Amino acid sequence: MERIIIEGGIPLHGTVQAGGSKNAALPILAATLLTAESCTISNVPDVSDVQFMVKILQHLGAHAEPLDKNTVRVEARNIRDEAPYDLVRKMRASVVLLGPLLGRLKSCKVSVPGGCVIGPRPIDLHVEGLNKLGAHFTLEEGNIVSHTQELTGTVIDLKSKFGSTVLGTENVIMAATVAKGVTIIKHAAQEPEVVDLASFLEKMGAKISGAGTPTIRIEGVRALHGCEHRIICDRIEAGTFMTAAAITGGNILVRGCDPVHLHALIEKLEKMGLNIHWEKYDIRVQVDQPLRGTKVVTEPYPGFPTDMQAQLMAVMSLGEKSSTVIEKVFPERFMHAAELVRMGAKIQVRGDTAHIDGVKQLSGAHVMASDLRASAALVIAGLAAHGQTTIHRVYHIDRGYENIDEKLRSLGARIWRERDA
């Protein structure tokens, strides 16, 4: 395994390009199973989660091949309905195979997925939504087994106590595109990644309206066809670079991202005293005063994203006053807090709430990454810390960030990788 080492204390300056969205690429790659024709997907991030998804598609019988580093072509002419545990266990998002496999083959066998350890992430709403379309489910030896005679459109409510389910919404949309009749999804997830999936499916011939709103309407069609599609920018990667500028007192331009997708983060960073300017697909982040404390409540889009909570907490740890984070999406998603405390942060976690008292300086330390966004937070903290920070288990960060160390070096950071002894 590898570790990332950072010599902190350098303000970041320069321009960085945000890559394609992992969270958009995974369901879109899964959706290629809905047609036997060729689909070409560009701006695909070269990260381990995407590599796992490509391997799963290949195991299912699809001809999936990279045309270059960030372009994948998939032709799923003859496919099987069983996704293996050895691949699925490594990535929770593989649950989005349920919808397209049921839509295409009317049956599937998918191992219960793994992924980050950030608290319970049930797939009950996925099963419930697909069940209402006419699919029948059983759990056999750790596998979700499903079949249907015919998928039929209906009204499906995906509301839960933690908000709308993104992957659940995507699963239902994919299955409903080839179901008989009309499907209405209430309390649908509104994330940009859902909109991007809908856009891809529409290019394939699907009839979808309302994506990006709480109510989505899908009129089923008999078959979908191949197409070409470019993945949207990764708003979480872009946001991570913005917090890197914030914590180091830097001045950077993040290119290729949609400021509308980052509105909630921009609003909080401005309240903390940052100067942020944007036009079209560029965002400039500049720090010219001490960081102020603030309060954040994570919510489904368009609220503050849970996937930016850990990175912003690292920034909050150097605020002049106290800050508060209330985690409403994944209430147990605070495993990074203890590692930030090892670096000198003052953080107390009680239930779904973290209280952060700002300190003047963080200190480099050996820390352990527990999940994808927690590892990003430790990198952010290490960029500002006095001395050397060593981050272990960095395979987590490679799940969702393409060459993050190289991109940070281009902004002036002293960051490199070494093999664990």
State the catalytic residues: 116
Confidence of residue 121 (pLDDT cuts 50, 70, 90): low
Q: Which range, 102-111, 158-167, 403-412, has the best average confidence (pLDDT)?
A: 403-412
Q: Is 136 helix (H, G, I), strand (E, B) or coil?
A: strand
Residue given tokens 């963080």 in the structure block: 362
280-327 tens-digit pLDDT? 999 999 999 999 999 999 999 999 999 999 999 999 999 999 999 999
Average predicted confidence (pLDDT) for the chain: 94
- In the chain, what are the domain boundaries? 2-19+234-419, 22-230
pLDDT at 85: 77
- Asked whether the domain spanning 22-230 has the same topology as the one spanning 2-19+234-419, the reply is yes
pLDDT at 88: 78
d(CA 233, CA 70): 12
d(CA 59, CA 182): 32
For residue 35, how many other CB atoms are within 10 A of its CB?
Answer: 23
Of 283, 250, 240, give the one whose Cα is nearest residue 377: 240
Residue 120: is its pLDDT beyond 60? no
The pTM of this model reads 0.96
The class of domain 22-230 in CATH terms is alpha beta
Q: Is 360 helix (H, G, I), strand (E, B) or coil?
A: coil
242-262 tens-digit pLDDT? 999 999 999 999 999 999 999
Which pair of tokens denotes residue 151? Answer: 């998928």
pLDDT at 311: 98
Q: What is the CATH number of domain 2-19+234-419?
A: 3.65.10.10
